[in-house]
Structure 1
Amino acid sequence: MASMQFNVLLTTYEYIMKDKHVLRKYDWQYIIVDEGHRMKNAQSKFAMTLGSLYTSRNRLLLTGTPLQNSLPELWSLLNFLLPTIFESVDNFEQWFSKPFSHFTGTGESNELTDEERMLIIHRLHQVLRPFLLRRVKSSVLDQLPDKVERVLRCELSGWQKIMYRRIQEGGSLLMEGTQDGDDAKKTTAFTAKGLSNILMQLRKVCNHPYLFQTQGYPIDFDIVRSAGKFELLDRMLPKLHAAGHRVLMFSQMTQLMHVLEDYFNYRGFRYLRLDGSTSADEREQRMFMFNAPDSPYFIFLLSTRAGGLGLNLATADTVVIFDSDWNPAMDAQAQDRAHRIGQKNEVRVFRLITNSPIEEKILSRATEKLNMNNLVVEAGKFHAKSKESDRRAMLESLIKMENDEATEADEALVIDNDELNSIMALTPSEEKLYQQIDHDRATRERHQYGAHFNRLMHTSDVPAWLKEADAAESLKEHVDPDTLAELKRKRKDVSYRDMSEAQDYYNIVQHAMDLQTIEDRIESDEYTSFAMLERDFKLMFDNAQLYNHRDSLVYHDAAEMAKVVKSRLNAYKKPKKKKTS
């Protein structure tokens, strides 16, 4: 490099930081960042290093998702490109945030008329237009087949309903375990396991109750019956396999992927797996194995974060999002593993959702983020041939669509076989095939299990140990009296613990916050300012004080922790004094 005998330096994000002492010395003509959304957090080490230590005449960001979660993320990208113009994130939010405030829960957008919202968004488009050029697949790939996404809802099983209720009511879960009996033989016991991250545990329950089985589980038909999504999947995969389709299945949880593998083996489906522990060489090898002509593999099971980037799996034409990401951009990137150059068939995306408050909330939040992206990016039509009249018409239609969504109640119907077949089938012959598979399966199960057999486990069918654990007397035996009294007091004082009072429950889920979520947001560089981090900590401590009695330990602990966090953050924000010699 010392001789300067090169035109382009191609490097990685890591080496930008590792070799900054060498690379920062050059006056670059262009700095081009692929996957530019990595700059969405202006306080991240990568963004600060590249933005402040490197000099260049021109800067360019390449990204498919300029707006993922919030306007401050968009400002971070603009701040990197033109730091002297986009200097203050607070000013940027103050100018443009009101039309989108109902997405963040402040409700300020309700004070605006549709015309006022359109005016502010139009001004934002004018600000962005000189700096944003957008190309979508449809503009460069006329022959790319369509992609159709459908949400498929299913019920929770009786097992899941008991566990879901137990977590909500007490923040603890009765689990099957073992203990030594008097005769030195192992006997079943039940232990109350404290749950530090309630939202994560509720998500695990919605996926499969076996995620809580520390003693293992049998690989039989109960793996299907005990989880609503598995029962729905068991009605889908045999049909897709029989019709010659191939499936990419994405999940957030590697532990769940183990259970899915057990199910695939139980049903005899050939599959490949890829997650964060898969090496780079193995990733490439498995991609070739799946894409090979006459490949025997029906399913490619991938973790959303690890498998959502850098893979071309266009030989699959069906995508199953088993559990959704809070960030819809992650799921969209996962879907594009199949919907890309080389795809010859229509791609169908099936998003599995249980009729549970937590998963409905995740879906709702993802929809809000997509709506914000539509208003800021899609409606701007940032390409050379767009007309002002086209942009205004699209913006009007999107705002009207938002209003329609707000007034129409979502019935959230669980899908039956006829509707499922209609959604899945590409042709009438496929639909007839799927109907025959349903008929054959029903006949087989009726002969094997009886006429009154239920595919989805009811509360009356759950294992005996779970029935015992769910009984009030069993709870008294295995939770100490002080804890039991505290749970009773909380259920009396805090109405959201009672599932019959649904509105209060929705409120607590809507504004829930915990340390694990804060840690995850820090790891994924979602915080673009100290103010955002402080807001989340404040929300967590306020919730603890709001939903616990003033005399409780939790209330006082929250107050003390709030003081400590505030002190630490203030100390970190203060500029360090330079030492004088």
Structure 2
Amino acid sequence: GIGQAMADGCTKLRWDAWGPAEVVPTRSGSFEHLKEHQRVGVRWLLALHECSPGAILADEMGLGKTLQTLCFLDALAVRTRRPSLVVVPASLIDNWIAEVGRWTPRLGVLRYHASSGVEREEIRRQFFDDPRAYDLVVTTAGAVHCKEDRRTFFRKVGFEYMVCDEAHCLKNAASARHKELSKNVRCRRRLLLTGTPVQNKLSELATLLGFALAGDKGVAADIEVLQELAASLEEQQRTQAMRELQEVAAPLILRRLKADVLTELPAKRGVVTRLEMDPAQRAAYDEVVAANRTAARAAAKGPGRRQSKAWFVQAFHQLRRVSLHPLLGKSRLSPDVMRRFVDALIEVRPDFAKAPRARVDREVESWSDFEKHQAAVEYDLSMDFRVANDELFQSAKINELMRVHEEQVARGCKTLVFSQFTQFLDVVEAALSARGVAFCRLDGKTAIADRAGAVAAFQGEGGPSLFLASTKCGGTGLNLTAASAVVMLDLDFNPQNSRQAEDRAHRLGQVRDVVVHYLVCRNTIEEMILQRTMPKMMLDRHFGAHRAALEEATEGAFCEATAREPGDDCGDADLCGADGEAQAKVNEANVIKDFSAFLLGS
């Protein structure tokens, strides 16, 4: 089994990874260009290749997991002609292929990604015409999801490795992605890459380990033992559980932190900025609070005695949008102007002209004020329905962003901006355009073919000084070290997503100190989110390679960290630790409880 294999290979693992720093032969000579911690990582991967069917390279974001993996595969290409499969998010395909060209140019790489079945069929033909020409196939989980691609390619080709980038997405064994990659790719071994190996639930790490060990050379019995261990660990005290899990997982997971290995990396500092709302924004916010409070209290006196949970969730998110900008609310147009706006839309939109008036009214009423403005611009409607430029700046967050940006420009520096809400990015984009500020933008609507160009433009000398990105799409895998300031316009219920985003700038290649600005409006529900998410203990820091760090992770330390009151300056900006999506749901549910009590209280 795996346990015996690891016991037999332990001496080799210790010697090969941390022994004499001999140069590892690679096809492209890539090993010679690595930093010392990256060389250790490559030697560790090569040692595990001899004695384990899988591994997890879990270095903190920004330490070069992609480069270490490519160098490892470059060394492997000297020994075997079997190709390896790299499964990445669609937004990272161009980055991976560019890194191959830069660091391992003698590896033959095939991009298995296309929008049409005909194009993918041509890619398959290209591969099978000369399979020995390709050492690396780069694809997405979406391609593996396609039944025809599974049948004609992924189950047909025998891969040496399946490498899964951003592997924390596989922590849920019940997810479609986990099941499809587990069952539909033929590979001898698996390598998972993630900067966040320890999530809030230890069982999720066991799921990742089980996935890593389930290649052709994996042993099912050992995977079951891991899962049973994780379940038992959930019952134990946290510190003891972490020690036991680290002992079991240590040979299979390599985890280094930037603070430990990159003494030359500039500092990262986090600042929580509490903002006073613009008067118009405060009035809009208070109006929504008053309306929801009246409705909640009226319902509490009625037969049902309470609004539904879904109602409170909807009311909460309505206030959350207004906390960003009043134009994300729905109160700008008076009933008379709203009626004339719908009349104008019916005249220019055939689908509206054919639909019943009541249905059209419901549709338009569901739009935010900014969406109404966008429709008025798109269909060249009256200026009465459009937003004036000064209204764009009735947001505390946009004004603070402008202030930070002006300071950055004065220093000759660039700024990276994240929001979870693409519609708010639309408003920010309009405000920047009104001020004549050049910017790049990347979100889920950005074509895959255009993403690399946006990054290159921002990274280049003389390029735009601002980069707007959605937290979900732009928060992983990208290298945006041209920025020395990161502005987080809103707080994520999963704080790890924010940390992923901020490390787009704080990573290898950064030459300036990085300041991360977390913007929070005073006396709003954003402070409820802050209270629930900020004090989380950084579990991944205590799961690093150093046992001394684990010794400090006592129950008292957890309590102390949880009790910490967030101040204006939060030190190194590792604000929120490694909460997973499960904890994000818990955080959100707790905030909704706080919010419902707020509405129903005095």
- Per-residue CA deviations over 1:511-546 (Å, capped at 9, x if unaligned) read xxxxxxxxxxxxxx9579xxx99x99x999999x99
For 2:506 and 2:155, how far apart are their aligned partners in 1?
39
Call closer, same or farther: CA 1:75–1:201 in 2, change over 3 Å.
farther
Alignment map for 1:98-109 (pairs within 5 Å): 98=235
For 2:590 and 2:509, how far apart are their aligned partners in 1?
47
Q: If the length of structure 2 is used for normalisation, what is the TM-score?
A: 0.55
- Equivalent residue, structure 2, for 1:46: 177
Call closer, same or farther: CA 1:239–1:41 in 2, change over 3 Å.
same
For 2:172 and 2:407, how far apart are their aligned partners in 1?
44
Alignment map for 1:56-205 (pairs within 5 Å): 56-82=187-213, 83-87=220-224, 91-92=228-229, 94-98=231-235, 116-139=237-260, 141-157=262-278, 158-166=282-290, 168-170=292-294, 197-205=314-322
How much does 1:280 deviate?
2.1
| Candidates 352, 355, 362, aligned match of 2:522 | 355
- Per-residue CA deviations over 1:66-104 (Å, capped at 9, x if unaligned) read 2345334323212212453343898455422356xxxxx
Query: Are 2:419 and 1:292 aligned?
Result: no
Matched residue SS, 2:174? coil
Q: Is the 8 A contact 2:277 2:521 kept in 1?
A: yes
How much does 1:28 deviate?
4.5
For 2:597 and 2:550, how far apart are their aligned partners in 1?
44
Matched residue SS, 2:137? coil
How much does 1:118 deviate?
2.5
Query: Are 2:416 and 1:248 aligned?
Result: yes
Q: Is the 8 A contact 1:251 1:322 kept in 2?
A: yes
The amino acid that maps onto 1:274 is L
Query: Are 2:337 and 1:207 aligned?
Result: no
- Per-residue CA deviations over 1:337-361 (Å, capped at 9, x if unaligned) read 2222322111111011123463234
How much does 1:284 deviate?
1.9
Call closer, same or farther: CA 1:31–1:207 in 2, change over 3 Å.
same
Matched residue SS, 1:379? helix
Q: Is the 8 A contact 1:40 1:526 kept in 2?
A: no
The amino acid that maps onto 2:317 is M
Call closer, same or farther: CA 1:57–1:230 in 2, change over 3 Å.
closer
- Equivalent residue, structure 2, for 1:470: none
For 1:329 and 1:312, how far apart are their aligned partners in 2?
18
- Equivalent residue, structure 2, for 1:8: 135
- Equivalent residue, structure 2, for 1:495: none
Q: Which runs of 5+ in 2 are unaligned?
A: 1-127, 214-219, 297-310, 333-368, 374-385, 573-579
| Candidates 492, 506, 514, aligned match of 1:325 | 492
Q: Is the 8 A contact 2:459 2:482 kept in 1?
A: yes
Matched residue SS, 2:224? coil
For 2:162 and 2:319, how far apart are their aligned partners in 1?
44
The amino acid that maps onto 1:123 is E
Q: Is the 8 A contact 1:202 1:358 kept in 2?
A: yes
Q: Is the 8 A contact 1:41 1:527 kept in 2?
A: no
Call closer, same or farther: CA 1:326–1:136 in 2, change over 3 Å.
same
For 2:484 and 2:497, how far apart are their aligned partners in 1?
19
Q: Is the 8 A contact 1:247 1:298 kept in 2?
A: yes
The amino acid that maps onto 2:451 is R
Q: Is the 8 A contact 1:274 1:307 kept in 2?
A: yes
- Per-residue CA deviations over 1:405-444 (Å, capped at 9, x if unaligned) read 444555x77xxxxx99xx9xxxxxxxxxxxxxxxxxxxxx
- Per-residue CA deviations over 1:357-389 (Å, capped at 9, x if unaligned) read 632343344446x52xx33x321323xxx4x4x
Call closer, same or farther: CA 1:121–1:195 in 2, change over 3 Å.
closer
- Equivalent residue, structure 1, for 2:388: 219
Query: Are 2:545 and 1:378 aligned?
Result: no
- Equivalent residue, structure 1, for 2:301: none
Q: Is the 8 A contact 1:148 1:349 kept in 2?
A: yes
Alignment map for 1:554-565 (pairs within 5 Å): none
- Equivalent residue, structure 2, for 1:519: none
Call closer, same or farther: CA 1:265–1:7 in 2, change over 3 Å.
closer
- Equivalent residue, structure 2, for 1:452: none
What's the C-alpha RMSD, in Å, of the aligned pairs?
4.2
Q: Is the 8 A contact 1:309 1:337 kept in 2?
A: yes
Query: Are 2:471 and 1:315 aligned?
Result: no
- Per-residue CA deviations over 1:538-572 (Å, capped at 9, x if unaligned) read 999999x99999xxxxxxxxxxxxxxxxxxxxxxx
Q: Is the 8 A contact 2:418 2:487 kept in 1?
A: yes
- Per-residue CA deviations over 1:280-333 (Å, capped at 9, x if unaligned) read 2322222222222223x2211111112223432211111100112222222222
For 2:160 and 2:472, how far apart are their aligned partners in 1?
33
Call closer, same or farther: CA 1:222–1:540 in 2, change over 3 Å.
closer
Alignment map for 1:6-45 (pairs within 5 Å): 8-12=135-139, 13-18=141-146, 19-22=149-152, 23-25=154-156, 28-45=159-176
Matched residue SS, 1:85? helix
The amino acid that maps onto 2:178 is A
Call closer, same or farther: CA 1:207–1:47 in 2, change over 3 Å.
same
Matched pairs, number: 385
Call closer, same or farther: CA 1:366–1:78 in 2, change over 3 Å.
farther
Call closer, same or farther: CA 1:118–1:44 in 2, change over 3 Å.
closer
For 2:599 and 2:557, how far apart are their aligned partners in 1?
40
Query: Are 2:532 and 1:403 aligned?
Result: no
- Equivalent residue, structure 1, for 2:426: 258
Call closer, same or farther: CA 1:164–1:122 in 2, change over 3 Å.
farther
For 1:540 and 1:345, how far apart are their aligned partners in 2?
36
Call closer, same or farther: CA 1:85–1:345 in 2, change over 3 Å.
same
How much does 1:252 deviate?
1.1
For 1:207 and 1:541, how far apart are their aligned partners in 2?
18
- Equivalent residue, structure 1, for 2:20: none
The amino acid that maps onto 1:279 is A
- Runs of 4 or more, structure 1, over 6 Å off, are 538-543, 545-549
How much does 1:247 deviate?
0.7
Call closer, same or farther: CA 1:245–1:87 in 2, change over 3 Å.
same
Q: Is the 8 A contact 2:272 2:520 kept in 1?
A: yes
The amino acid that maps onto 2:286 is I
For 1:233 and 1:244, how far apart are their aligned partners in 2?
16
| Percent sequence identity over aligned pairs | 30
Q: Is the 8 A contact 1:28 1:57 kept in 2?
A: yes
Matched residue SS, 2:204? helix
How much does 1:207 deviate?
0.5
Call closer, same or farther: CA 1:540–1:250 in 2, change over 3 Å.
closer
Call closer, same or farther: CA 1:119–1:43 in 2, change over 3 Å.
closer
For 1:45 and 1:78, how far apart are their aligned partners in 2?
18
For 2:315 and 2:225, how far apart are their aligned partners in 1?
36
How much does 1:52 deviate?
3.4
Call closer, same or farther: CA 1:35–1:220 in 2, change over 3 Å.
closer
